[in-house]
Chains A and B, each alone.
Chain A
């Protein structure tokens, strides 16, 4: 048993704040610097905005279910699509994924917290109030009479539509400030994750023995550090334009509209990887456990993720193939974008290699992960189509692109977020989520997803641009759009089942025990939920799968790594 976890020492007895009255408990959550509580708050906050932004998407689909429908007026529709997009990226995707990293990274490296717990709390509250600012624009966004409330400039807010002559009132200012604050909060988290992973690993855990998830958390944190500052700079410049008469993007005074696009996409494309690499991270933990096999090609998986991170910084202008770049520029960005496909393909092959020869258990987290593999494959392949710049001239800003990025954002990321919630919920709460409800959730969500987003590809190919509040009859778009809206309804039902499942399981779910999935990483060695200090004694590891070594002393990993 040499070199494994010291299990003899009694682990923590759980929360002693249970005894406090409600207000006291709330106070404990507000002042907490515990990475687990902050992680849960990030995830809970993200899920809250997921429901709101999801309802906004449902309204969008209702309006588009029929041609020339008058459910919402155009300006309200444009606000819905702007808020839906902005919220889903900054208020849903980012916080849920940083929340998981917050929760899991210290547990997986055998630490008691992140390196800077107070900075962590600071980052969360910046995000929280930034998020509130965005939705507060519905109340406070009115500046001039008739200028409207929430921003209606689209989530990438192309200049000069965001400049004062075209965007009166304060709604765009709320948008700017909200993104500014949430980005600063996220940058703080990035610093924290990198420092923790490099400095706080338990004894025996060299860099090459970190779980894949922790490696990918570090990769994501580095991308955040590089990609978010250009976004914040651009927001500051736009604010200067709007309040102090600077002319960065103000074309009427000689500013450059393209400059904004460069700034935005230098952030915007790495952002896709900031969101999708955590999905890879979850898949790389969940697929091995439910295939009962060690991850295939650990070091190649890590290397491929680093390669994706590097290449992702040089592909931004593939969002701008139609702005009139030179042929050489278009060719460069076509090439760099296609190259991303290589490490991404390697990852899919390695997951396949992990499943191959295993004994697959079809629990809910695995179902979501398997659907992720197929959907991410399709998303990657339509991504290659879009990388072909001439084809992109036809497809950019159409529903084909909408379908493509929802395949990434929902088909890959949201599916893996659900997988991760089903997988780690028992650890965080001590209770299992219901498998039956979980399977209903999975199958309905899968059907709804494909009804909505498979058809969108064809709507795009038939010439339907994105961000239109209506379309005229007689253009062959009616049936496709109606099917898409039905799919949205089915997805809504699935999410409702998920919400019911969470609420029911929190109250009366089956007790989980320490290690319900028979898994191998350190978080499963402590109690569920873990005590505030995580581990009573700092663990000592000798391989990437310390609990495997413990369960299979006759065949430990460290012999082979």
Chain B
């Protein structure tokens, strides 16, 4: 019997497993610690955890008491074999008891509210210190644009921020705007989510204390590819961050061996949506590709940034991310190879 069940289960799962292709993301994700809300590494997330543990403790105690009483009364007052048919004494109510179980919850609510309000103000009313980094986050269907106005850097889907030393904090403030529908910026280990809403400017801040890569993703349903509107935040020590900024500000090196690939790029529809500094491409519908190869992933975290995945993506993004707004380019084999060879030089 058991063997039969296993066989049926195996046969049932086979087609699912056969079609699944994670484009290398499973490997990459498993090297990053899970992005649970309790693994906080930044002040807003820490503050949230403090109040969260408090409310979880209170509710756990309430649960134990009430569920305990319920269980006790169900066992204690069950009908037993041999009971007579007489009805139990009828009790219509008791005002002192009602008063008691009204007052106690009111007191709990009062305490909980004070602690909640304190946390709300701590997180929301924080002021922007002089050393803060400002990043302009623009959410698109279904990717993230990051612009650093003071640093002159534009990138996508992978946000680089400096490590913030608690003694000398350099938090990053994010100004959030949407190019189309409502989205929500969420990196659980750094802060709670803040919605990114068209015709509205929201802001939030993070001050990561631990270097590393943190996974996040869009938290508000935004259409077909909401599920693959992923993002990564790369937190690095200040020196590394400055080095990254300097590299991003440079136009990419011109490599003579890929000049034909560059021509393919400049002479097709790519330029309508993408920007590459130092070329005629200055479109803004899609991600800035100037330093494409500095990013780990493509398609907003849908696939690893390898030449093979790039070829699949350029040929038809729908294969990796069905519904993505970039059209299938359907280039010839040689054009595709040359184009991807060119893209691979955009460090």
Contacts and interface: CB of A to CB of B under 8 A. Distances in A.
Interface string B54-67: 01101100110011
B323 A385 contact: no
A393 B193 contact: yes
Contacts of B162: none
B233 interface: no
Interface string A156-167: 001111000110
Contacts of A226: none
B87 A370 contact: no
Contact of B202 (A71, A324, A387): A324
A297 interface: yes
Q: In the complex, which of the residues A161, A165, A299 has the most CB atoms of chain B within 10 Å of its own CB atom?
A: A161
A361 B194 CA distance: 50
A331 B120 contact: yes
Contacts of B48: 390-391, 393-394
Given A74-B224, A393-B191, A465-B219, A160 B181 contact: yes
Interface string B210-244: 00000101111111111110100000000000000
Interface stretch (B101-109, B145-153, B264-272, B308-316): B101-109
B37 A463 contact: yes
A349 B102 CA distance: 10
Interface in A391-415: 391-398
B70 A300 contact: no
B197 A258 contact: yes
A390 B90 CA distance: 45
Given A161-B181, A357-B88, A349 B322 contact: no
B34 A463 contact: yes
Q: In the complex, which of the residues A74, A255, A335, A398 has the most CB atoms of chain B within 10 Å of its own CB atom?
A: A74
Contacts of A377: 63, 66-67, 70
Nearest to B222: A161
Given A69-B16, A353-B91, A390-B120, A346 B102 contact: yes
Q: In the complex, which of the residues A257, A322, A395 has the most CB atoms of chain B within 10 Å of its own CB atom?
A: A322
Contacts of B83: 359
A49 B21 CA distance: 35
Given A78-B224, A468-B226, A472-B22, A390 B193 contact: no
Interface stretch (B121-129, B132-140, B164-172, B251-259): B121-129
A294 B92 contact: yes
A523 B91 CA distance: 23
Interface stretch (A6-14, A179-187, A337-345): A337-345
Contacts of A352: 66, 69-70, 73
B11 interface: no
Contact of A465 (B62, B67, B218): B218
Contacts of A396: 193, 219
Interface in A286-300: 291-294, 296-300
Nearest to A392: B192
Interface string A345-380: 110111011011111111000000010011001100
Contact of B194 (A74, A252, A294, A393): A393
B120 A327 contact: yes
A352 B83 CA distance: 22
A404 to B, nearest CB: 12
Interface stretch (B110-118, B274-282, B327-335, B338-346): B110-118
A323 B195 contact: yes
Contact of A389 (B56, B93, B116, B141): B116
Contact of A561 (B17, B32, B92): B92
A440 to B, nearest CB: 20
A472 B222 CA distance: 18
A75 B223 CA distance: 8
B298 interface: no
Contact of A74 (B31, B94, B180, B227): B227
Contacts, number: 311
Interface in A465-524: 465-476
A225 interface: no
Contacts of A298: 92-93
Interface in B15-44: 16-17, 19-22, 25-32, 34-38
Given A339-B109, A388-B55, A360 B28 contact: no
Interface string B67-92: 10110011001110001000111111
A59 B34 CA distance: 27
A362 B78 contact: yes
User: On chain A, which size bracket covers the interface?
Assistant: 35 or more
A330 B218 CA distance: 22
B198 interface: yes
B2 to A, nearest CB: 16
Contacts of A65: 16
User: On chain B, which size bracket covers the interface?
Assistant: 35 or more
A293 B91 contact: yes
B126 to A, nearest CB: 11
B13 interface: yes
Nearest to B52: A391
A353 B25 CA distance: 54
A389 B215 CA distance: 23
Given A391-B48, A472-B29, A474-B25, A291 B77 contact: yes
B30 A474 contact: yes
A70 B55 contact: no
B199 interface: yes
A470 to B, nearest CB: 5
A409 B22 CA distance: 34
A385 B109 contact: no
Nearest to A357: B88
A461 interface: yes
Contacts of A252: 198
A345 B101 contact: yes
Given A359-B83, A393-B192, A381 B59 contact: yes
Contact of B26 (A300, A394, A474): A474
Nearest to B90: A294
A475 B52 contact: no
Interface string B176-196: 000011101010100111110
Contact of A342 (B20, B63, B106, B181): B106
Contacts of A128: none
A255 B219 contact: no
A342 B102 contact: yes
A6 to B, nearest CB: 24
A239 to B, nearest CB: 19
B117 A166 contact: no
B119 interface: yes
Contacts of B106: 342
28 contacts: A65-B16, A67-B26, A68-B20, A258-B197, A293-B90, A300-B98, A322-B184, A327-B120, A327-B121, A330-B120, A330-B124, A334-B113, A334-B116, A338-B113, A346-B105, A353-B94, A360-B78, A384-B55, A388-B52, A390-B47, A390-B119, A393-B48, A397-B184, A397-B219, A463-B215, A465-B218, A473-B26, A474-B22
Q: Which 9 A-B pairs have the closest CB atoms?
A: A393-B192, A474-B29, A468-B227, A473-B26, A474-B30, A297-B93, A251-B198, A324-B202, A381-B59
Interface of A: 65-71, 73-75, 78, 152, 154, 158-161, 165-166, 251-252, 254-258, 291-294, 296-300, 322-324, 326-327, 330-331, 334-335, 338-339, 341-342, 345-346, 348-350, 352-353, 355-362, 370, 373-374, 377-378, 381-382, 384-385, 387-398, 461-463, 465-476, 552, 555, 557, 560-561
Given A257-B200, A357-B91, 18 more contacts: A66-B13, A69-B20, A161-B182, A257-B182, A299-B93, A323-B197, A331-B120, A346-B98, A353-B91, A355-B70, A357-B77, A360-B79, A389-B116, A390-B48, A394-B192, A397-B220, A472-B230, A552-B87
